[in-house]
A and B are shown apart, each in its own frame.
Chain A
Amino acid sequence: MAEELKLFRTWSSPFALRVVHALKIKGLEYETIFEDLSSKSASLLQYNPVNKKVPVLVHNGKAICESLVILEYIDETWKQCPLLPRDPYEKAKARFWAKFGDEKLFSSIGNVLISQGKEQEEAIAAAVQNLKLIEEQLQEKKFFGGETIGYLDIAFGWTANLISILEEIMDLKLVDEEKFPVLSAWMHNFSDDPVIKQCWPPRDKLVVKFQAMRESHLKTVLSQ
Chain B
Amino acid sequence: MAEVKLFGNWGSPFSCRIEIALKLKGVEYEFIEEDVYNDNKSPLLLKYNPVHKKIPVLLHNGKPICESVVILEYIDETWEGPSILPKDPYERAMARFWTKFLEEKCFPPMKQASWSTGEEQEKAKEEATELLKILEGTLSGKKFFGGDSIGMVDIVANFIAHWFIILQEITGLELLTHEKFPKLGQWLDDYLSCSIIKETLPPKDKLTASFQARIQAATTSK
Contact surface of A with B, Cβ cutoff 8 Å = 50, 59, 62, 64-66, 69-70, 72-73, 76-77, 88-89, 91-92, 95-96, 99-100, 133
Contact = CB atoms under 8 A, between A and B. Distances in A.
Interface residues of B, number: 23
B215 interface: no
Contacts of A88: 74, 77-78
B79 to A, nearest CB: 10
A103 to B, nearest CB: 9
Given A66-B100, A92-B73, A99 B67 contact: yes
Interface of B: 51, 60, 63, 65-67, 69-71, 73-74, 77-78, 89-90, 92-93, 96-97, 100-101, 105, 134
9 contacts: A64-B93, A66-B96, A76-B92, A88-B74, A89-B60, A91-B73, A91-B77, A92-B70, A96-B70
Contacts of A72: 92-93, 96
A133 B49 CA distance: 13
A174 B85 CA distance: 39
B67 A96 contact: yes
B65 A89 contact: yes
B129 to A, nearest CB: 15
Contacts, number: 54
B89 A133 contact: no
- Interface SS of chain B: helix
A69 B51 contact: no
Contact of A133 (B51, B66, B134): B51
B101 A50 contact: yes
A69 B100 contact: yes
A95 B90 contact: no
A69 B96 contact: yes
A89 B89 contact: no
Contact of A100 (B51, B92, B101): B51
A96 B93 CA distance: 17
Contacts of A92: 65, 70-71, 73-74
Contact of B73 (A70, A76, A95, A100): A95
B89 A77 contact: yes
Contacts of A50: 101, 105, 134
Nearest to B101: A50
A89 B45 CA distance: 18
Contact of B90 (A64, A99, A133): A64
A65 B97 contact: yes
A92 B56 CA distance: 14
A50 B93 CA distance: 15
